[in-house]
Structure 1
Amino acid sequence: MTKTVAVADWQAWQRSWDRQQEWYLPEREERFRAMLDAVEALVGPEPKILDLACGTGSISDRALRRFPKATSIGVDLDPALLTIARGHFTAESRVTFVTADLRDPEWTRRLPHRAYDAVLSSTALHWLRSEELSVLYSQVAGVLREGGAFLNADHMPDPSTPRINAADHAFHKERQARARAAGTQDWVDWWQAAARDTMLAGPVAERFRIFGNPADGDHADGEVQSAAWHARTLRDAGFAEARPVWCSVSDAMVLGLK
C-alpha cells in the first residue's frame, strides 16, 4: 500500500495571510511600495535587510522581488508564521529566518551579521509596550551601519484629531463588515483555519502557548503611540534624523536614518 504524505501549500498560506492582513490594511501594498522606495533612495538597490518581526516574510518577499541583489534576514518568535515563511522561501537562498524574542536583551546575538543597510518592520511592533519599544529602537540603531535606514510602518494614531479618527474608524468598520459578509477571514478566523491544518497544527499550538489564543485577545499587552512619539524616540535612541514619511488616518511609517 502506498503511504500518503501530507504536503503543505506554503504559497497558498502566504497568499491567505496577505488577504487577511489586507482586510485590516487596504493600503498595505502602498506602504510596502513607499518603504522600498525609501530603501532604494537611501541605501541603494542592493540592500542587506533585517526584516524585523517578519511574520510570514511579507516584506522580504516584496524586497527580493524588487531588488534582485538584495539579501534579507527575517526575525520573529512566532513558530507558525516562521513555518510558513520557511516553507514559502524554501528555494530562495537570499533569505534566512531566525527565531528570536525581540524583548530578549540578547536577541541581536542570534543575527548572522552585525551590520545592516536597512531594518524594516510593518504592523508588528505595536505588540510591544512603549518602554520595550524604546529599548528596541536603541538595539536597532546598534545593528545598522552608518547611513543605514530603519522604517517602521504601524498603527500610529494622532490623538489630536478625535473626530477624524472616529469617522475613519466607522468607515473602515463598515468596509470590513461588507468584506466579512463576502467571506473574508479576519485574524481569529485565519488562526482557527491554521490550527486545523495538519502541517501547521503543531506550530500553531506552540504559538498559542507563547502568545495566547487570538480568540481570547492576544494583543492585550501592546501599546500604540503617535508618529511624533516614534520619531522623537528614534532620535533619543541615536538616530541622526527621524520623521514620518507616509501615513493614512490611523497608520504611519516612520523613518530613522543612522
Structure 2
Amino acid sequence: MTPYKLDSRAWQESWDRQQEAFMPDREHRFAAMLDVVDAVTPADRPVRVLDLAGGTGSISLRTLARFDRVEVTLLDLDPALLAIAGASLGDRARLVVADLRDPGWAATLPHRSFDAVLTATALHWLAPQRLAELYRELPAVLRPGGVFVNADHMPDETLPELSRRLVARADQRRDARYATGAVPSWRAWWELAAAHPLLAPLVEERNRIYSEPHSSEFLPPAAWHLDALKAAGFAETGVVWRGGTDAAVAGVTPG
C-alpha cells in the first residue's frame, strides 16, 4: 500500500484560509514587510531573512517567491507546523527548532548577520516582559543596518472607540463565515490536523510542549512596540503598514 503523504499545498491553503478569516488583509501586510526587506537588500549577495516563529512558512514562501537571491531560515517550536513548513519548503530554506521563551534561542541560528527578521501574528503569545527582552536580543542577530518587522494586532490608542467598533464588525464577519463553513476556525483547523495520519502524533507532541497555557494574548498599541524597540537599541523605529486595528512596526539597527 502506498504510504500516506502530506499534501503540503492543501495544508498551506487550509492554513491560509483559516488565518485570512482573522486577517482579510493578510497579503497586504506580507507585501509591505517584503517591501521593507527589498529596501535593505544588498546588491552584491543574497538577502538573508529570518522568519521568526514562522509556523507553516507563510512568510518564507512569499519571501522565496519575491526574491531571486535569498537565504531563508525559519525558526519555530511547533512540530506540526514545522512539518508542513518542511514539506512545503524542502531544501529552499533552513528550519530551526527553538523556543522564543528561552533567552538562549539565538544560539540555534546558522549565523548572526541577517538582513531582516520578520514575524507576523506570533509574538503576542509571549508575556510582556519576555517580549521586551526578545526585542533587546534581536539586534545581535541582525547586521548593521538590518531591519526587524513585526506585524500583529496593534490598535491605534488614539482611536479607542473606533477600534472597538472595527474589531466588533470583523468578529461578526468572521463568525458568519464560520457558520457557513466557508473557512475553518482555529479550533476546527487543529481538529483536522489531529485527525491526519501523519500530523496526529505531531499535534500530540505539540500539546505536550504547550501543556502549560499560553500567557494571555498581549496586544498593546503600536506605540508600546515602538517604545520597546527604541529601548532595545534600534536606531530607527516606526510603523511601516497599518490596516484597521493591525499594524507592522519596524526597527532598524545602527549602521
Range into which the TM-score falls when normalised by the shorter chain: over 0.9
After the TM superposition, which residues 24-35 of structure 1 pair with which residues of structure 2 at under 5 Å, given as runs?
Answer: 24-35=22-33
After the TM superposition, which residues 203-242 of structure 1 pair with which residues of structure 2 at under 5 Å, given as runs?
Answer: 203-212=202-211, 219-242=214-237
State the secondary structure of the residue aligned to 1:89.
helix
Identity %: 48
Determine the C-alpha separation between the residues in 2 that align with 1:212 and 1:65: 36
When the two chains are superposed, the root-mean-square deviation of aligned CA atoms in Å is 1.5
Instruction: Find the counterpart in structure 1 of residue 48 from structure 2.
Output: 48
After the TM superposition, which residues 82-97 of structure 1 pair with which residues of structure 2 at under 5 Å, given as runs?
Answer: 82-90=82-90, 93-97=91-95
Q: Does 1:166 align with 2:161?
A: no
Q: Which moved more, 1:167-176 or 1:139-148?
A: 167-176
Q: Does 1:248 align with 2:246?
A: no
TM-score normalised by L of structure 1: 0.93
Q: Does 1:128 align with 2:126?
A: yes
Determine the C-alpha separation between the residues in 1 that align with 2:58 and 2:42: 20
Unaligned runs of 5+ in 1: none
Unaligned runs of 5+ in 2: none
Determine the C-alpha separation between the residues in 1 that align with 2:6 and 2:85: 12
Deviations 1:66-98 (A, max 9, x none): 1021111000011110011001112xx331110
What is the CA distance between 1:219 and its match in structure 2? 4.8
State the secondary structure of the residue aligned to 1:68.
coil
Instruction: Find the counterpart in structure 1 of residue 188 from structure 2.
Output: 189
TM-score normalised by L of structure 2: 0.94
Q: Which moved more, 1:44-53 or 1:6-15?
A: 44-53
Determine the C-alpha separation between the residues in 1 that align with 2:216 and 2:119: 19
Determine the C-alpha separation between the residues in 2 that align with 1:119 and 1:112: 14
What is the CA distance between 1:212 and its match in structure 2? 4.5
Determine the C-alpha separation between the residues in 2 that align with 1:114 and 1:159: 35
Task: Check whether the contact 2:127–2:215 (CA below 8 A) recurs between aligned residues.
Answer: no
Report how many aligned residue pairs link the two structures: 250
Task: Check whether the contact 1:157–1:250 (CA below 8 A) recurs between aligned residues.
Answer: yes
Determine the C-alpha separation between the residues in 1 that align with 2:28 and 2:103: 33
Q: Which moved more, 1:171-180 or 1:192-201?
A: 171-180
Runs of 4+ in 1 over 6 A off after TM superposition: none
Task: Check whether the contact 2:126–2:215 (CA below 8 A) recurs between aligned residues.
Answer: no
